[in-house]
Amino acid sequence: MLELRNISKYFNKNTPSQTIALDDLNLQIKPKEFITVIGGNGAGKSTIMNIISGSTEPDKGMVLLNDYDITFMSEHKRAPYFGRVFQDPMSGTASDMSILENMTIAYGRGKLHSVFRWFMNKKDKEYFVELLKTLDLGLENRLMEKVGLLSGGQRQALTLLMATMRQRPSERIIKRDFVRFSETDKSKAKEEVEKAFLEAKKKRKEALKELKTSGLTKEEFKSKRDLINNEYKDKIYKFDLTKQILLLDEHTAALDPKTAQKVLDLTEKIVNENELTTVMVTHNMKDAIRYGNRLIMLSHGKIVVDVSGEEKKKLTVEQLLNMFQVASKDDTMSDSAILGD
Ligand SMILES: Nc1ncnc2c1ncn2[C@@H]1O[C@H](COP(=O)(O)OP(=O)(O)OP(=O)(O)O)[C@@H](O)[C@H]1O
Ligand SMILES: [Mg+2]
């Protein structure tokens, strides 16, 4: 569970232009909740996303992930657990790198000094191709093409995929964070991880020992050793971390309506298939009602509406609009945003 507890965020504090972006805000996000967030310009939507992802620190309050205080954990360290897609299709991928290179980096495999390795790991490549096929955009046939050549919608779909794909963090990170963020019994999880590691390590040691006495040439030895090391890595495969929480900040706003629809449907599919916890900011009230299982409305850094389940499903744009007008008298929202098309 992700929890924002009494979060306040000011900008330009103690100056005449001081603004309060979030005002003593409380939000508990349960696993597998798909929350749509609406609110006028400047209501604090993006600031919430920044606080969750760690790109902004709150002035007051705490951020908890599975009861663990991550308020001041760096964005970089949180990255394995959060996927994020922004409004700008240019921001989530590197234009001058190929689809394969972008995905490799997202997978946590990218090492600048070993570019050639990227192309050699067949298993990773197969995994990427499988993922790309699910988009149904033909991108699996364009692995070597630079991402800069893709359309905005294709690029946003790829970013979405990269933001939600499984992670392969280092052994150290798995050990540290799997235990820390495990939702199961912590001591049991730790025990399990330790056991699997020790077993895999023991087996690797034995295999390497055997190899040393097998009289192979230097080259043969090296390639066999790599194989063994790879096999050992796969033993800890089951501790691969799936992105747990997906943060979408108006990620379809820059796309034409048809493409936006396609990317939204893809979003829903990816969220359902991976059972992701999702927070999606949108200015489109229709989408806010249609997607997800909980809806919150923000105004002046506070949650003014919070509906879920059946109540949310029954909402109409008119009702939502009324709520918006009552809750945020002096906020602004464009007609197209309200009406949705
Ligand atoms: N880096 C910053 N410096 C100064 N003020 C900021 C900064 N970021 C946000 N703010 C202010 O904080 C408030 C909340 O901004 P935020 O970006 O969270 O709004 P939003 O709900 O995402 O709006 P929009 O719909 O326009 O994207 C606004 O008043 C904004 O001007
Ligand atoms: Mg915003």
103 and 75 both lie in a single domain: no
Identify the pLDDT of residue 316: 95
pLDDT, tens digit (0-9, with 9 covering 90-100), for 171-200:
555 555 555 555 556 566 667 766 777 787
Q: How far is the CA of 12 from the centre of ligand 1 (A)?
A: 12
222 and 260 both lie in a single domain: no
Pocket of ligand 1 contains residue 50 by CB under 6 Å: no
272 and 306 both lie in a single domain: yes
| 303 lies in some domain | yes
Identify the pLDDT of residue 185: 61
pLDDT, tens digit (0-9, with 9 covering 90-100), for 109-128:
544 434 444 444 677 888 89
- End-of-domain residue from the set 192, 214, 239: 239
Q: Report d(CA 340, CA 287) in Å as an integer.
A: 8
Q: Name the most confidently modeled range: 30-44, 118-132, 327-341.
A: 30-44
Residues with Cβ < 8 Å from 325, sequence gap 6 or more? none
Identify the pLDDT of residue 175: 56
Q: Report d(CA 322, CA 103) in Å as an integer.
A: 43
Q: Which domain holds residue 12?
A: 2-89+242-339
| 149 lies in some domain | yes
- pTM for this predicted structure: 0.79
Going by C-alpha positions, the residue among 159, 177, 192 that lies closest to residue 270 is 159
Q: How far is the CA of 45 from the centre of ligand 1 (A)?
A: 8
192 and 224 both lie in a single domain: yes
Of residues 13 and 198, more confidently modeled: 13
| 190 lies in some domain | yes
Identify the pLDDT of residue 115: 45
Residue 105 has pLDDT above 70, yes or no: yes
Nearest CA to ligand 1 atom 11: 21
Report which bound ligand comes closest to the CA of 40. Answer: 1
283 and 333 both lie in a single domain: yes
- Residue 106 banded pLDDT, cuts 50, 70, 90: confident
| 283 lies in some domain | yes
250 and 335 both lie in a single domain: yes
| 34 lies in some domain | yes
- The count of other CB atoms within 10 Å of the CB of residue 214 is 10
E-assigned strand segments in the chain = 2-11, 19-29, 34-39, 60-65, 68-69, 82-85, 245-249, 277-281, 294-299, 302-308
Q: Reduce the DSSP state of residue 230 to 3 states and report it.
A: helix
Residues with Cβ < 8 Å from 32, sequence gap 6 or more? 275, 276, 277
265 and 225 both lie in a single domain: no
Percent of the chain with pLDDT over 90: 48
pLDDT, tens digit (0-9, with 9 covering 90-100), for 227-240:
887 776 655 444 44
Identify the pLDDT of residue 226: 82
Pocket of ligand 1 contains residue 25 by CB under 6 Å: no
Of residues 37 and 13, more confidently modeled: 37
| 40 lies in some domain | yes
Q: How far is the CA of 46 from the centre of ligand 2 (A)?
A: 4
- End-of-domain residue from the set 120, 143, 164: 164
- End-of-domain residue from the set 239, 260, 294: 239
248 and 305 both lie in a single domain: yes
Ligand 1 atom with the smallest distance to the CA of 9 is 12
Ligand 1 atom with the smallest distance to the CA of 39 is 21
220 and 290 both lie in a single domain: no
Q: How far is the CA of 38 from the centre of ligand 2 (A)?
A: 10
pLDDT, tens digit (0-9, with 9 covering 90-100), for 252-278:
998 889 889 999 999 999 999 888 999
Residue 217 has pLDDT above 70, yes or no: yes
Total domains in the chain come to: 3
pLDDT, tens digit (0-9, with 9 covering 90-100), for 137-172:
999 999 999 999 999 999 999 999 999 886 654 555
| 94 lies in some domain | no
68 and 149 both lie in a single domain: no
Identify the pLDDT of residue 138: 93
Pocket of ligand 1 contains residue 135 by CB under 6 Å: no
136 and 148 both lie in a single domain: yes
18 and 58 both lie in a single domain: yes
| Mean pLDDT, the chain, whole residue set | 84
**Identity (one letter) of the amino acid at 121?**
N
Of residues 331 and 221, more confidently modeled: 221
